[in-house]
A and B are shown apart, each in its own frame.
Chain A
Amino acid sequence: MESWRKNKLAFSVLVLPPTAWLVIFFTVPLLIMWVYSFAERGPQGQIYLAVNFANYARAIEWIHLGIIWKSVWVAAISTAITFAVGFPLAMGIAFAPTRWKNLLLLLVILPFWTNLLIRTYAWIAVLRTRGFLNFGLEWLHDEFSAFFALIGLPDVMGEFQALELLYNQKAVVIGLVYVYLPFLVLPIYATLEKLNKSYLEASLDLGAGHWRTLFSVTMPLAMPGVVSGCLLAFILSMGTFLTPALLGGTDSEMIGNLIARQFSSSRDWPFGSALSFLLLYLTFIILWVRASMASRKRGPI
């Protein structure tokens, strides 16, 4: 690294293009948005530059606060479910025989190879009233009815009622769990994989059962990965836009959809910018809390 810096020419040739790219296409637009967030909206959706906090004030009005709060809730619930599914999955992969590991990992990241939009439409096909899940349930129902009829209890199962699975909060949570599962599994897998298996053996050796070992040794030692994975899933879920838009109902709007609406149908870029930055600040606060927790845990030597 040192010698790289000495060779100024090579260093600048390599570093300048990506830096310029980042500045022009990321930092500058972000700055523009930040400036917009203090601007005013004209009657036809024009942007009049100004310095006022009206957009932020509007963003924390009850109606919008409600949406933000709901986003936090939905993200929290999805993250919790993702964790409940993802941790055992990550553990299964990490402790699987070596020759299976790569295949299993591949299966986890396989969905990334297909466009999210297509995958979300696939969920619609699965969840809707006349979708695959309901077909499957109906088939089971019919089989059971036939079975009970056979043993002389013809009406025990009643009529099949198709489940209302789509266009509500449940569908959004299912969709979010599905989309962000890999983001949670991979960091947890990485820490478990690095974990010295002797710790787990030592725990068993000292008389602990498998569950005790899981909660007293495996989980605490995998904590860095668990926190990263959960944060990632939480932050991504909170800012999500596509899943609630396609799978959710009228009451499933999340902050991502609210923001998207400002930039499209509402044509209120200043307010949209303010909302976006509010989300960004929220994310920063979460990351800051995490960082300060991590540094406190390391503590004084």
Chain B
Amino acid sequence: MVDNTIISIRDVVKRFGSSVLAVNNVSLDIKQGEFFALLGPSGCGKTTLLRILAGFETPSEGQVLIDGDDMERVEPNKRPVNMVFQSYAVFPHMTVRQNVAYGLRVVGTPKPEIDQRVQESLSLVQLEELADRKPDELSGGQRQRVALARALVKHPKVLLLDEPLSALDAKLREQMQIELVHLQQTVGITFVIVTHDQNEALSMADRVAVMNGGNVLQVASPTELYEYPNCRFVADFIGKMNLFDGQVVGVKEGQVVVRADAITAHIGDISVPFGDEARGKVGIAIRPEKVKLDGEEPKDMPIRVRAKVVEVVYYGNESHVFLQSTSGAKITANIKNTSRNTHAGIVKGDQLWVSWCPQDTLVLTS
């Protein structure tokens, strides 16, 4: 390979029977050494796509290349990838050590090499002490490490993980997120992880593919995904978002002029920086934490809306203020409680000014 693409998914379609379209024309390139996440709501086809990579499902159409080789007709046991199953699938009739050694024994690796690699792999996930236990004597987190060690001992080109953290409790999950990232940096293997938890995807991955209904909607780095979502679904799915319907009324050098009655009734049409072509109906979006609240009208802010406080929810480090504009639009503002009485002044029923900068505003064309 000239470039450093390790997995290339080309126009892959997967149908189950005649009615279920699980994966719809997906094309993706995953780079060597990348921590790549497939993110999407339940039933969007993430697991199916991962199983296509592992070889447990055959694509109805399209092609999968791993390290430049076409994977069509390559059995799962001959692919240079390994998988960590959602249920871990740690063999209950083998000890931890036997589980980890299994993948080497079945391909006839010499005994001394097996011993050495198993030891390495166990120490990588800090399981040396538990090596002679049976899986039913382990906790969920430990079992997951076994599944990891068992896959990593094979030195795969790509490690596939299907919701590896979903069975763990919140505290352990957070710890394992950090450990997984650390592990990935240590071994330098490409990780492809499936998750429906956006925080997990954003905090761990180098790049994220957001899926919905079998389609990949956007592939981007976590920051790009959060700050520049390319459609309403991604904007809404990743984090919180204030979304308004708008209409493009004009274009001038790198800006679009938008009319969105819910928020622009008072100030007239607004200009928002936007590079692409935009015409007709669009979505206007702003993140709640990028919204400012003032008592006096902030005349210097080009986008400002008069609104009434409907509810204030206190979260300790921040407060979420739910407002309704005079034209009826619902707006949420997240206020950082940087000192003890930041939001003390804001109570239900207050009339405030909501404002934000044009450069923080998003224009969503789809």
Contacts and interface: CB of A to CB of B under 8 A. Distances in A.
A212 B76 contact: no
Contacts of B87: 196, 198
Given A201-B89, A203-B102, A209 B77 contact: yes
B106 A212 contact: yes
Given A201-B56, A201-B76, A206 B85 contact: no
A199 B85 CA distance: 9
B137 A205 contact: no
B242 to A, nearest CB: 42
Contact of B89 (A202, A216, A301): A202
Nearest to A202: B89
Given A212-B106, A216-B106, A301-B137, A205 B83 contact: yes
Interface string B80-92: 0011011101011
Contacts of A208: 77, 102-103, 106
Given A196-B87, A204-B77, A212-B106, A221 B93 contact: yes
Contacts of A217: 91
A293 to B, nearest CB: 14
Given A205-B54, A206-B106, A220 B93 contact: yes
Given A204-B75, A205-B54, A207-B106, A199 B154 contact: no
Contacts of B75: 204
A221 B94 CA distance: 10
Interface string B126-161: 000000000001000000000000110010000000
Nearest to A223: B93
Contacts of B103: 206-208
Contacts of B92: 221
Interface string A146-187: 000000000000000000000000000000000000000000
B170 interface: no
A172 B103 CA distance: 45
B107 interface: yes
Contacts of A223: 93
Q: Interface residues of A: mostly helix, strand, loop or mixed?
A: helix
Interface string B56-89: 1000000000000000000111100011011101
A205 B106 contact: no
A199 B76 contact: no
Contact of B150 (A198, A199, A206, A212): A206
Contacts, number: 62
Nearest to B106: A208
Contacts of A203: 91, 102, 106
B18 to A, nearest CB: 15
Interface in A279-301: 301
A202 B54 contact: no
Interface in A188-228: 196, 198-199, 201-209, 212, 216-217, 220-221, 223
Contacts of B83: 201-202, 205
A206 B153 CA distance: 10
A148 B137 CA distance: 67
Contacts of B86: 198
Contacts of A216: 102, 106
B49 to A, nearest CB: 16
A206 B147 CA distance: 11
Given A201-B76, A301-B137, A207 B91 contact: no
A207 B106 CA distance: 7
A14 B91 CA distance: 44
A228 B167 CA distance: 33
Contacts of B150: 202, 206
B106 A198 contact: no
A203 B150 CA distance: 11
A199 B135 CA distance: 13
A207 B77 contact: yes
B107 to A, nearest CB: 5
A209 B103 CA distance: 11
Interface in A84-132: none
Q: Max chain B CB contacts within 10 Å: which of A203, A207, A208, A301? A: A207
A198 B50 CA distance: 14
A298 to B, nearest CB: 9
Given A209-B77, A301-B137, A202 B106 contact: no
Nearest to A205: B83
B76 A205 contact: yes
Q: Max chain B CB contacts within 10 Å: which of A196, A206, A223? A: A206
Interface in B31-57: 54, 56
A204 B89 contact: no
Interface in B255-293: none
Contact of A206 (B93, B137, B154): B154
Contacts of B77: 204-209
A206 B156 CA distance: 10
A144 to B, nearest CB: 39
26 contacts: A198-B89, A199-B89, A201-B56, A202-B85, A202-B150, A203-B91, A204-B76, A205-B77, A205-B83, A206-B77, A206-B82, A206-B102, A206-B103, A206-B106, A206-B151, A207-B103, A207-B107, A207-B154, A208-B102, A208-B103, A209-B106, A216-B102, A217-B91, A220-B93, A221-B93, A301-B137
Given A198-B86, A205-B76, A221-B91, 15 more contacts: A198-B85, A198-B87, A201-B83, A202-B89, A202-B91, A202-B150, A203-B102, A205-B82, A205-B83, A206-B103, A207-B77, A207-B107, A208-B102, A216-B106, A217-B91
Interface of A: 196, 198-199, 201-209, 212, 216-217, 220-221, 223, 301
